[in-house]
């Protein structure tokens, strides 16, 4: 049967958006090259028109330049059309990529939702509440144990706190009176020990003023005019 009717040919897959966009870009590049070539010819014809005198020769050059200019306009129209097609294909490709991203996002969300459901089956709100209540009860019991262990023995419960505060204030007042005379350090307090000069019965040091000869402050003086030192014995 295949020899009579022939084998069925497999259909080629339709071109993708990227394939179509690449093909149009190549055509656009070809059109751009043609436009550049025509621009070169127009520039050459402009130079010839400037160099030739008005007449049949100049008119012939102008006619060739007009023909080239028409071709350039045609190619520019094709190029604009190709650019518009490329822009449309880019929009379609962008929309297609957006849909693919949305599909992947939905697939990831479904997988995460399934996983969360499996995890939520192992965690129950009631169990968490019961655990919190048990922890609070244990903390309360621990506080009661600490308070019980911290009680003082032999202290009566009917002690008046105001009375204790009054006794404390009186004690602080008494302590303040006792320490009033002790505010100055011992090394700054006046020395109550007997003066050694009085013990030796020594005269005071001479001043810078002149004194009469013979006696100073009703005391005997030596040959140099200084008070004589009496011969006194030290007391034990």
Helix or strand (DSSP H, E) at 83: helix 56-122
22 within domain boundaries: yes
- Residue 45 to residue 58: CA distance in whole angstroms: 10
The domain total for the chain is: 1
126 within domain boundaries: no
pLDDT of residue 111: 93
Model pLDDT for residues 122-176, shown as the tens digit of each residue: 888 888 899 999 999 999 999 999 888 877 666 666 667 777 788 888 888 877 7
Between the alpha carbon of residue 120 and those of residues 5, 112, 115, 125, 126, the distances in Å are 64, 12, 9, 10, 12
pLDDT of residue 231: 55
Which ranges constitute the DSSP H helices of 150-210? 161-178, 196-200
CB 42 within 8 A of CB 35: no
Between the alpha carbon of residue 215 and those of residues 58, 212, 221, the distances in Å are 153, 7, 6
- Residue 28 to residue 77: CA distance in whole angstroms: 11
pLDDT of residue 8: 61
Q: What angle do CA 47, 50, 53 make, to 5 degrees?
A: 135
178 within domain boundaries: no
pLDDT of residue 214: 45
185 within domain boundaries: no
- Residue 198 to residue 204: CA distance in whole angstroms: 10
CB 206 within 8 A of CB 226: yes
Quickly count: other Cβ atoms within 10 Å of residue 31's Cβ.
Answer: 20
Nearest to 82 by CA among 27, 16, 158: 27
pLDDT of residue 186: 54
Residue 106 is part of which domain span? 17-121
129 within domain boundaries: no
99 within domain boundaries: yes
Q: What is the DSSP letter of 186?
A: G
63 within domain boundaries: yes
29 within domain boundaries: yes
pLDDT of residue 213: 47
Residues making up the chain, counted from first to last: 236
Ranges of residues in the chain whose predicted pLDDT is under 70: 1-10, 152-159, 177-236
């Amino acid at each position: 049967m295949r020899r009579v009717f022939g084998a069925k040919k497999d259909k080629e897959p339709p071109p993708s958006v990227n394939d179509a966009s690449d093909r149009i870009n190549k055509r656009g590049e070809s059109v751009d090259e043609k436009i550049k070539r025509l621009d070169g010819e127009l520039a050459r014809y402009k130079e010839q028109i400037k160099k030739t005198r008005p007449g049949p020769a100049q008119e012939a050059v102008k006619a060739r330049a007009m023909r080239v200019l028409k071709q350039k306009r045609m190619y520019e129209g094709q190029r604009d059309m190709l650019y518009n097609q490329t822009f449309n294909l880019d929009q379609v490709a962008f929309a297609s990529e957006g849909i693919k991203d949305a599909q992947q996002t939905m697939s990831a969300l479904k997988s995460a939702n399934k996983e969360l459901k499996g995890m939520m089956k192992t965690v129950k709100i009631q169990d968490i509440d019961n655990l919190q209540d048990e922890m609070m009860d244990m903390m309360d019991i621990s506080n009661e144990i600490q308070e019980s262990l911290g009680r003082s023995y032999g202290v009566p419960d009917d002690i008046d706190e105001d009375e204790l505060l009054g006794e404390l204030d009186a004690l602080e007042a008494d302590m303040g009176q006792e320490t009033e005379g002790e505010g100055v350090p011992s090394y700054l307090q006046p020395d109550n020990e007997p003066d050694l000069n009085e013990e030796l019965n020594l005269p005071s040091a001479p001043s810078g003023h002149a004194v009469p000869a013979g006696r100073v402050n009703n005391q005997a003086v030596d040959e140099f005019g200084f008070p004589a030192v009496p011969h006194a014995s030290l007391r034990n």
